[in-house]
Amino acid sequence: MISFNKVSKVFPNRQVALQQVSFEINKGEFVFLVGPSGAGKTTILELITCEEKPTTGMVSVAGRVVNRLKPSQVPYLRRNLGIVFQDFRLLPQKTVYENVAFAMQVVEAPPSLIRRRVPLLLELVGLHRKANDLPQQLSGGEQQRTGLARALANDPLLLLCDEPTGNLDPETAWEIMNLLVQINNSGATILMATHAKNLVDRMKRRVIAIDAGHIVRDDYRGGYS
Ligand code: ADP
């Protein structure tokens, strides 16, 4: 599903973000990406979404070599990806329903499919009763559930999560974590960058640890440290 082969990333200001990073993530895996601030986690996610290109080495995602994609091909790659952000990034003027529906509208999904799918997604994340609320009327956990429903709107092969529990209290974070497990069990591959040591330790999933641009550990039943 994802393959990094000797990937280095040097930003134009000569900041070295990744050095010779290699790993593979197979379909259906649930992988944590951990490491201190500045280690290179976000850069890895940005290489997967094609927001950045590797300086050297090869990145491939869902069977496509990302290095060689033309700008016009990037939207097709992104259709296979769902992204969940730490700060939710919901559209404040749109309701919960509309936020999720919008993700389908931008890829020109048929309206009949949108009308069928959005209620199912809201049911999945436990928000069907809040469909008509605006983000500001929701708790942090509910906003992240909306973000999760939106990320799943186009049935992605791969769900990328960048500190999805970073703004949530421990109990709410655990609820979101359980939803992610449920989503993984139904087939989506998940890569989650996080600082949440207790969640990572509790989950006993694969952990890729990165420090100063290098992979320092890749454990299949790992903990945070
Ligand atoms: P993390 O997500 O683990 O906190 P990042 O991937 O954001 O780490 O950053 C890795 C390194 O690359 C850091 O030293 C950071 O300052 C640098 N970096 C990230 N993005 C840029 C950029 N656009 N321009 C220059 N340096 C960057």
Profile the chain (225 residues) by mean pLDDT over runs of 10 residues: 97 96 97 95 96 96 90 90 95 98 95 98 96 97 97 95 94 94 94 93 95 94 78
| Ligand 1 binding residues, C-beta < 6 A | 11, 13, 15, 17, 35, 37-43
Closest CA to 164 of 98, 221, 181: 181
Q: Whose CA is nearest to atom 11 of ligand 1?
A: 17
What does the pLDDT read at residue 187?
Answer: 93
Rg (CA), the chain: 17
pLDDT of residue 20: 97
- Look at residue 142 in the predicted model and tell me its pLDDT: 97
**Distance from the CA of 187 to the center of ligand 1, in angstroms?**
31
Q: Give the pLDDT confidence score for residue 13 in this predicted structure.
A: 95
Rounded to an integer, what distance in angstroms lies between the CA atom of residue 203 and that of residue 210?
19
Ligand 1: residue whose CA is nearest its atom 7 = 42
- The candidate with the shortest Cα–Cα distance to 59, out of 71, 79, 72, 43, is 43
Give the model's pLDDT for residue 222.
77
User: For residue 191, which amino acid is it?
Assistant: L
Compute the distance from residue 38 Cα to the ligand 1 centre, in Å. Answer: 6
> What angle in degrees, to the nearest 10, is found between the helix axes of 111-124 and 96-105?
130
pTM to 2 decimal places = 0.94
Candidate of 4, 9, 10, 11 to mutate for ligand 1, largest count of ligand atoms within 8 Å of Cβ = 11
